[in-house]
Structure 1
C-alpha cells in the first residue's frame, strides 16, 4: 500500500510535478487502440513470430528510448565477467519502469534488476531477458530528522558516510558493503553485527507483473538472514531507515575501523564477497567449513578459492564465469559430502541453464 493513500495504486497517468531529488528527462505517453491494453496490443505483434531473437528484438524496439541491445553486463558486476543482456533498460522515471513491465508481460522475457552487481555472477552466454538499472531514477538521499529516505540505486558506502556526516548513527556497518540500497533490502545485507533489517522502516515497491506501486512496511518483506520474500518482478524503488542522533566524530571512527578490518581480512580484486551464507548465523561461518577441508587455493581455470578468505572466490585474468561456477559447485559438494551442511549461495547465478539445486531461494513475492 502507498504510505499516503493507504492503498496500492497504479503509476499515475498524468505528468507529475518535477521534484529536485528525481532525475527526469520527460514522461512519454504510450497510445494503444481503444479497448485494448498496452500488453494486448504489443502481445498481438509478438505472437506472430515467437523465435527468441525476434522477441528480444521486438522488446528492444518498444524500449529503445531508454534501452540498448546486447549490452555487456560484465562492467556492471564486481566479478567483471559474463555476457550481454539481450535488452538493457535504464528507465528515467516510474512511467518508463512501468513500460518495462508492460513489455516483459507481453513477451514473457525475464527481468533482472542490476545494481552494482556485487552479489551476481552472469553466465558467459549472458542474460536473454531485460536487465534494468535504476541508476537514472534512484540515486538520491533525503534526511528528515532521524529518518533517512533514499533511492534504491544509492551505493551503501555513500549512504553510510552521508548518514555519519549528518550526525546519524546505526548505519556504519554498510560502509564496507559494495552494493546498493535496493540490493541490500532484497538480500537483507549486513555485517559487523547489524543488517538492513535493524533500521529499515519500509520500502516503496513496483510490481512489474501487477503494474502496481505500493508502500510495504518492513514486517511484510519476509527479511531473514541474507534473504527476503521479494520476487524478481518486485522492484525496490526507495527505502526509509530509522537511525538515531550521535557523535559524527565517533561515527567516522567506526567507519574507518570497519574499512580497516575489511582490508585486513578480505581480499580485493574481482569477487562477489562471501559466496556462501553462513549455515549457522553467528555460530558457524561457511569459511570455517571450507577451511577445514583445505580448499583455500582450489582452482579451476582463472578462478580460485581465495588464500586470504576461504568464503571468497577470486576471478583472475583470463577467468570465465564458467570457471567461477565450477569452483562454487565443487566447494559446495565437498562441504555437503564431508560435513553434511548444504551451503546456500549468496551469489545470484544469472543466465545459467542448470542452476545448482537450492543454490538460491525462490519466492512468489510479498503481498499487500
Structure 2
C-alpha cells in the first residue's frame, strides 16, 4: 500500500493508515483499513479516482471500498486491504431543481452522503411524494442506489432518474440514466469502484397524500416490527414468494446465539451484535442460519448485507453443509 499512499500524498495527513472502519458500520464491529480517507467534495473524489486509475493502468490492483452510513455492511475482523473511502460534507446537498420534466413532477438532486430519513423528511416538507418509504432506512443515497434499497411497497428505482458517478477504476466522471444501472430487487450492476456522487429523483406533488402521516406510520411500524440495537437491517434478501425471516424461524434460528452475535427474537432476519463483539461471529451466524434454512426448506438465502473481507458466502454455506453431513 506504500505506493498508493504515495500517489494520494496530496491528501496530506487526512489519509489515515491502519484506520478503524468497523466502528463506522451500524454493527460497530470489525477491523481496520490499510488506508482511509473522508473525501471532502466531488472535485477531490475525481482527483483520488485519477490517482487510483493511474496505478491500475500501471499494473497495481489495490482494492477500493466505499462506506456510506455503514448500515448494510459487515467488515471482517481481519480488516480491509486497500483503500476505504467515506463521503464528507461536500456530498450532503439537497437541491430542488427548477423546471418540471413532466406535469406535476419535480427533480430532487441529493448528494451521495445524504441520509435517507433526512431526504424523506425534506421531500415531504417540500410537498412531494414518492420517497416516504425511506424514512426508516438508516442508509445513504449512494448506498440506496447501489443496492436499490426499498421498503413499504416502493424502492429507489421507482423514482430514480439519473446518477452522477465517479469511477475509481478508470478516473471517469459520468452521468448515467437509471435504466443503465441494472437495478433489481436489492441489487444493481454497479461495481464497487463506482462511487455515487449524487442522484436525481423524480417526485410528484403530494396534493392527495398526507406525507407527514405516512412518515409517522412508517416510523411506528418499524418500531413495532423491527429490533433496535447494533444491527445492519435485513441480513438476507427475501426469496421469491417467501420471507427470509420466516424461513429462518422455521429452521429454528430465531433467538439463536453464536459467540457475540444473536439472531433477533423480534425478527429473525436481523442479527444483533454485542458491544465490543466480533464481526466474524456475525458472519458465522449468517452462514449457520443460511445452512439451516437450506437443510430445512431447500432454499438458498442470499446476503443483503455487503460483506467486506470475507470469502464467497455461498461457498461458506456449502462448506458448512458438508461439515454438518460429516458430523456423527
Tell whether the structures are fold-level matches, with TM greater than 0.5.
Answer: yes
Question: Which residue of 2 is the match for residue 88 of structure 1?
Answer: 36
Q: Verify: 1:237 aligned to 2:211, yes or no.
A: no
Question: Which residue of 1 is the match for residue 78 of structure 2?
Answer: 125
CA contact (8 A) 2:132 2:211 kept: yes
Q: Verify: 1:161 aligned to 2:118, yes or no.
A: no
Question: Which residue of 2 is the match for residue 278 of structure 1?
Answer: 238
Aligned equivalents of 1:224, 1:358: Cα separation in 2:
23
1:171 corresponds, among 122, 131, 138, to: 131
Q: Verify: 1:226 aligned to 2:179, yes or no.
A: no
Bigger proportion of residues as helix = 2
With 90-99 and 261-270 compared, the bigger mean Cα shift is at 90-99
1:356 corresponds, among 313, 317, 324, to: 313
Post-superposition offset of 1:92: 2.0
Deviating above 6 A after TM superposition, structure 1's stretches of 4 or more consecutive aligned residues are none
1:300 corresponds, among 240, 258, 261, to: 258
CA contact (8 A) 2:52 2:171 kept: no
**3-state secondary structure, aligned to 1:161:** helix
Q: Deviations over 1:160-181 (max 9, x none)?
A: 0000001001110000110000
**3-state secondary structure, aligned to 2:121:** helix
Question: Which residue of 1 is the match for residue 172 of structure 2?
Answer: 212
Q: Verify: 1:346 aligned to 2:304, yes or no.
A: yes
Question: Which residue of 1 is the match for residue 64 of structure 2?
Answer: 111
Q: Verify: 1:78 aligned to 2:78, yes or no.
A: no
CA contact (8 A) 2:16 2:37 kept: yes
Aligned equivalents of 2:156, 2:299: Cα separation in 1:
26
Aligned equivalents of 1:258, 1:157: Cα separation in 2:
11
Structure 1 pair 358–347 and aligned structure 2 pair: CA distance change class (3 A): farther
Post-superposition offset of 1:102: 3.6
Q: Deviations over 1:69-109 (max 9, x none)?
A: 22211231100011111111222233321332244341421
Aligned ranges for residues 140-155 of structure 1 at < 5 Å?
A: 140-144=93-97, 146-155=106-115
Q: Deviations over 1:27-74 (max 9, x none)?
A: xxxxxxxxxxxxxxxxxxxxxxxxx5x446545645435422222112
Aligned equivalents of 1:78, 1:180: Cα separation in 2:
13
Question: Which residue of 1 is the match for residue 287 of structure 2?
Answer: 329
In structure 1, list runs of 5 or more residues that go unmatched: 1-51, 360-368
Post-superposition offset of 1:285: 1.0
Structure 1 pair 68–113 and aligned structure 2 pair: CA distance change class (3 A): same
For normalisation by structure 2, the TM-score amounts to 0.88
CA contact (8 A) 2:71 2:232 kept: yes
Aligned ranges for residues 196-211 of structure 1 at < 5 Å?
A: 196-211=156-171
Q: Verify: 1:269 aligned to 2:229, yes or no.
A: yes
Q: Deviations over 1:264-316 (max 9, x none)?
A: 00000100010000011xx3111111111121111111101100000001102
CA RMSD in angstroms comes to 1.8
In structure 2, list runs of 5 or more residues that go unmatched: 99-105, 317-328
**3-state secondary structure, aligned to 2:212:** helix
CA contact (8 A) 2:230 2:272 kept: yes
Number of residues of Structure 1 aligned to a counterpart in Structure 2: 304
Aligned equivalents of 2:9, 2:78: Cα separation in 1:
22
Aligned equivalents of 2:207, 2:33: Cα separation in 1:
45
Structure 1 pair 358–167 and aligned structure 2 pair: CA distance change class (3 A): farther
